[in-house]
Structure formats: structure tokens, C-alpha cells
Amino acid sequence: MDITSILEEYKKGTLSLEAAQAALAEKDSSHTAQTADLGFAHIDLARQERCGFPEVVYCAGKTVEQSVTILTLLMKKYDNIIGTRASKEVYERLLPDFPDVQYDDLARMVYQRKDTTIVNGDRTIAVVTAGTSDIPVSEEAALTAEIMGNKVMRIYDVGVAGIHRLLSRADDIRKANVVIVVAGMEGALASVVGGLVSQPVIAVPTSIGYGANFHGLSALLAMLNSCAAGVSVVNIDNGFGAGRLADILNRMR
């Protein structure tokens, strides 16, 4: 009901003063996310409507208690829910109440995926990974995208030191709609993939490597300085962020 309608209905008496006030106030706050206030957290309960997927819970730095409380609230309301950087204890606390809850050891992700519909048609996300040691981050990305309703193609251990392993998969990668590249050490894979495909490349630096990797700084800087067009970067080890962005790109009209 727009302002005009409210005003006219009020004039006609269809709306009481209170009702008209409420309608206008509601309109005013319609941008405001509906939230559940837990004191230590404001849970956004309108995000699925706004963005296509409910709020995701970043569990690092939260107590197990806090994580479980928030996830319980969300898992009751939604079919598919993700908690990232979660300890196994969070999962074990949720399991009695939510038999569908799952836990991925590598990705340290707790999640409920009751709805496995593919929402983005035939658009596939390729998750391309330099080395086996980067798989935990890759799985965080891949699982995130899958739970959000995307088809994911995993192409693992194709780092640039053996460029033909990558080239032999180039045609597969080109079939994807979006490409996520996960690499530690020198992070060169992002640039090479960026030069091979015309799709957008989301680069995820990982903290894997010998000393001068400096916890992912080397791969991060390399990816930011990529000479290939179409490459953008998310935070070190942030597989979730890459998976979520790929989902957003897949939902673009």
C-alpha cells in the first residue's frame, strides 16, 4: 500500500488513525531488516527475501553457546543454513534437535541442507584449486555454493607448476558460468586461469606455504596484482565469501 492509498483509505475511514499510522510507520521501516534481537546478536530474518539466502553465521570468536543459539533460531525457520568456522562441538550440540545437520571436517562448516533444489538453472560454478593443501578452503567455497542451490564442478590440484594439468581441464573450466580459483603459495593460478577464460574469476588466496608466504600475504598480493582481466579477490582463506559471491553472480539476470 503506497502513501497515496494509505492516505485515501484513511480519509475514507477504511483505515483507523492507528492503522494508518502503523501502515506509514511500517512503510518507513520496510528497508529495515526484520531482526530477532538476542541481546548479543541481531538475527536478520528477512535476508532470504532480500538476498535469496538466510543469514550465514560466522562462528569464530563466538562462544559455542552463542553459535548454537543463533543457529537453532535459524535452522528452525529455514531449510538451508550455514555456520562457518564452526567447531565440531557446535555440530554435536545441534544434532539432537536437528537430525539433518551436517558437519564438514575440512571446511569446518556446520550446515543444514534440507532443500537440494538447483536454483540457478544450468549455470555451473567451477572451483579450481592449486594444491591438495588448499582443499579445506575450496570445500568451504564449494559447499557454500551448493547449499545455496548451485551446481559446482570441483577441479583440484591443478597448480601452475604443471601447467598441462590445468590446460587439459581448460575446456571444462570454460563451461562454467563463474570460476573460483583457490591457491596459496604464489597464487599464480588465478592469473593463468584469468587468461584462459572469459568468465569472471573470483580469487581466494590461502595461507598455505613456506615462511615467506606470511600467512597468505604472498598469494593475496599476487592475486591483487593479477595481469589478467576479470580477476577480483576476496580475503585470505575466505572460501565462504567466494562461494557466496559466485552464487550472487549466478543469480544475476
DSSP 96: T
Q: Which is nearer to a copy of itself, 28 or 99 (CB)?
A: 28
Q: Which amino acid is at 48?
A: Q
From 68, 141, 74, select the one nearest 114 (Cα to Cα): 74
Question: Taking a C-beta distance cutoff of 8 angstroms, is the pair 191, 226 a contact?
Answer: yes
Select the residue interacting with a copy of itself from 80, 159, 176, 179 (CB under 8 A).
159
d(CA 196, CA 191): 9
Q: According to the binding rule CB under 8 A, does residue 156 interact with a copy of itself?
A: yes
State yes or no: residue 101 binds a copy of itself (CB under 8 A).
no
Element (H, E) at 14: none
Cross-strand partners of 111: 82, 102
Site string for a copy of itself, 108-147 (x = CB under 8 A): ----------------------xxxxxxx-----------
Applying the rule CB under 8 A, the residues between 29 and 88 that interact with a copy of itself are 29, 31-33, 35, 39-42, 44, 50-52, 56, 58, 60-63, 66, 70
Q: Is 95 in the site for a copy of itself (CB under 8 A)?
A: no
The Cα–Cα gap between 103 and 92 comes to 9
Sites for a copy of itself among residues 165-184 (CB under 8 A): 165, 167-168, 170, 177, 184
Helix, strand, coil distribution of the chain in percent, nearest 5: 45, 20, 35
Binding-site size for a copy of itself (CB under 8 A) equals 111
Residue 99 beta carbon to a copy of itself: minimum distance, rounded to whole angstroms: 26
The residue among 102 and 133 lying less far from a copy of itself, judged by its C-beta, is 133
Which DSSP letter does residue 122 get? Answer: T
Residues 5-34 that bind a copy of itself (CB under 8 A): 7-8, 10-11, 17, 20-21, 24-25, 28-29, 31-33
Of residues 88, 89, 161, 172, which one binds a copy of itself by CB under 8 A?
161
* Binding flags for a copy of itself, 194-223, as an x/- string (CB under 8 A): xxx-xxx-x--x-xxxxxxxxxxxxxxxxx
Work out the number of other CB atoms within 10 angstroms of the CB of residue 90.
25
Cell 536478520 belongs to 44
